[in-house]
Structure 1
Amino acid sequence: MPEPDAGPTKMSPVLPSHRVPAHLARRFHQICLGVTAEILAGEDLTPPLWGVIAAVVEESGGGQRQIANRIGVDEVTFGQMIEFLEGKGLVERKIDPDDRRARKLYVTQAGADLRRRLRPALLAAQERLLAPLSKAERVALLDMLVRVIEANDSYARPGNGRRKPQRKSKTTNGGQP
């Protein structure tokens, strides 16, 4: 019989060569996703989908393109996420009366109820994540992260840093016609 899960284990120290912003940000992101996914288990939602719900609540009536850009998700992926959430009855799209091609987003009552139910557990999880820090350190960390993100936001465009797709040549013989 397998032993019950003992919960999180202490991670080995970060390698000196990995004490760089990119690696630490990636590891912290992994940890945040894991903690959030644990809370969302059973809701058929992922942490990115939860982030979309939170953004729609915060930007209620905002344009689909505007919200996608604000949270750094490409428009096609964001549209698919909205379609999924709409199918679950958590958000709704309405035609923008000023631009019939555009859509405005709203959280539904079911979405608001879900958020109200899960938000306390998600906030408590964030508190646990930052428990090693004092209150002043938490504020300082968040302020510094916001400053770094705002100063470098131009690099955060969806797809930035991905390898460009390799195109196959329509010719043969090493590119010779």
Structure 2
Amino acid sequence: MPIQTIYQRPGFLLRRAHQISASIFERACAELALTPAQYGVLCIIQEQAGIDQSSLARALAFDKVTVLRVLKGLEERGFCQRTISSENRRQMSVSLTAAGRRLLQEANEPVQKAHDMLLSPFNAAERAQFMALLQTLTTQLDGEARASFVPMSAQT
């Protein structure tokens, strides 16, 4: 198989697109030392204060180990706090601190810049088509993923 064949495979291109997306995001948010995973976690916690770690993992399609690693880092930086759930003593509830809310506010502009940069190769119609195709791909093949995905609207 010629090497060019590998470069045309969807898996290779999706992995490369993810690398580019993460790099653009991290560069835009460098002053905040914020990664895409951290931003996602903070956004979900802001939307659902007191969410348990398992629901948080499902809301972002993370495995439990990944969400725990991200939470520990955010907690060490003072952006969130974990407490024992009042509803289930075996679960931890997660909420934002005042510093976490401020960080999300400060992230609005650089996150939007990263979003705009990532989609900049496309015109408006291509952007809509690209997003629709990504939605179709992820929705139709969701059962093939290693980590389950349950959007926030479906959890509440």
TM-score bin, normalised by smaller chain = 0.7 to 0.9
Give the aligned partner of residue 141 of structure 2: 152
How far residue 26 of structure 1 moved from its aligned partner, in angstroms, is 0.6
Residues 131-150 of structure 1: per-residue CA shift (max 9 Å, x gap) = 12122221221122122112
Distance 1:150 1:108 in 2: 33
| Aligned pair partner of 1:109 in 66, 74, 98 | 98
Question: Is 2:60 aligned against 1:77?
Answer: no
Kept in 1, the 8 Å contact 2:26–2:35? The answer is: yes
- Give aligned pairs, total: 144
Distance 1:114 1:134 in 2: 31
Distance 2:13 2:136 in 1: 17
Residues 120-163 of structure 1: per-residue CA shift (max 9 Å, x gap) = 111112112111212222122112212211221222214xxxxx
**DSSP-derived class of the 1:132 partner:** coil
Give the aligned partner of residue 19 of structure 2: 30
How far residue 70 of structure 1 moved from its aligned partner, in angstroms, is 2.2
Residues 93-116 of structure 1: per-residue CA shift (max 9 Å, x gap) = 232222111122222211111111
TM-score by length of 2: 0.81
How far residue 17 of structure 1 moved from its aligned partner, in angstroms, is 4.2
- Aligned-residue identity in percent: 29
Which residue identity does 1:95 align to in structure 2? I
Flag structure 1 segments of 5+ consecutive residues without an equivalent: 1-14, 159-177
Cα distance change, pair 28–58 in 1 and its aligned pair in 2 (3 A): farther
Distance 1:128 1:46 in 2: 16
TM-score by length of 1: 0.72
Flag structure 2 segments of 5+ consecutive residues without an equivalent: 148-156
Structure with max Cα Rg: 1
